[in-house]
């Protein structure tokens, strides 16, 4: 099992450590040449979506990744990664991959709740810890999108086909079940 992790900016290392501990091999995607390797799943980590989006274009890896997502590679997108997948964002005119039919809101929790931790129910898993850092939430989702979790009444985890979009950071908690679920999807 080989997982490609977008590694141009943000919290990619934490995903790598977790996936490797679960027995997966990881390849960090930093330049176009890295896309020549075959991989069974893709991680889009948290960080700064505007910076990541810009680097994806500058490093000429945007089209190659988008093509794989459209062809159906399993994707685990967290926080900024969710923004990269979203079809629209209410407070940012940029659209990146646009392969996930949801509208997100960036930095959606305001100053008071810039970062917080909670434990909520996630469909198919049970209660999971959720760490939010200047996180987005999903404001609107197409009926074809499965809602997996809510926090503070807002949608914070979705699945659309093989794309998983999470507003929080499962790579920062000790719980492994979300990464295990993702690897299971990659094995299918």
Could you say which of 14, 26, 89, 171 is catalytic?
171
Does 165 interact with ligand GLN (rule: CB under 6 A)?
Answer: no
- Find the helix packing angle between 49-58 and 62-71, rounded to 10°: 100
- Sign of torsion over alpha carbons 186, 101, 99, 134: negative
Does 46 interact with ligand GLN (rule: CB under 6 A)?
Answer: yes
Residues 6+ apart with CB under 8 A from 47: 9, 10, 11, 12, 79, 80
Part of the chain binding ligand GLN (CB under 6 A), chosen from 13-21, 23-31, 133-141, 146-154 = 133-141
Applying CB under 6 A, among 13, 22, 28, 48 the residue interacting with ligand GLN is 48
Q: Is residue 171 among the annotated active site residues?
A: yes
Does 75 interact with ligand GLN (rule: CB under 6 A)?
Answer: no
Does 159 interact with ligand GLN (rule: CB under 6 A)?
Answer: no
In our burial notation (b when 16+ CB lie closer than 10 A, e otherwise), range 110-124 reads eeeeeeeeeeeebee
Q: Is residue 79 among the annotated active site residues?
A: yes
- Residue among 34 and 171 whose Cβ is closer to ligand GLN: 171
What does the alpha-carbon distance between residue 52 and residue 180 come to, in Å, rounded to a whole number? 25
Which residues would be at the binding site for ligand GLN (CB under 6 A)? 46-49, 79-80, 83, 106-107, 133-135
């Amino acid at each position: 099992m080989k997982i490609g992790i977008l590694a141009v900016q943000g919290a990619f290392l934490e995903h790598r450590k977790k996936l490797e501990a679960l027995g997966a091999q990881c390849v960090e995607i930093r330049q176009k040449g890295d896309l020549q390797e075959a991989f069974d799943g893709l991680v889009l980590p948290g960080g700064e979506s505007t910076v990541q989006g810009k680097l994806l274009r500058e490093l000429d890896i945007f089209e190659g990744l988008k093509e794989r997502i459209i062809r159906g590679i399993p994707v685990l997108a967290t926080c900024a990664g969710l923004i990269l997948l979203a079809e629209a964002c209410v407070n940012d005119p940029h659209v990146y991959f646009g392969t996930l039919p949801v509208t997100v809101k960036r930095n959606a929790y305001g100053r008071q709740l810039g970062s917080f931790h909670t434990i909520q129910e996630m469909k198919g898993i049970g209660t999971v810890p959720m760490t939010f850092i200047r996180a987005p939430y999903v404001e609107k989702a197409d009926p074809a999108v499965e809602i997996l979790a809510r926090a503070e009444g807002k949608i914070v985890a979705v699945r659309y086909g093989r794309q998983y979009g999470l507003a929080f950071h499962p790579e920062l908690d000790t719980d492994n079940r979300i990464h295990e679920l993702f690897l299971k999807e990659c094995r299918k």
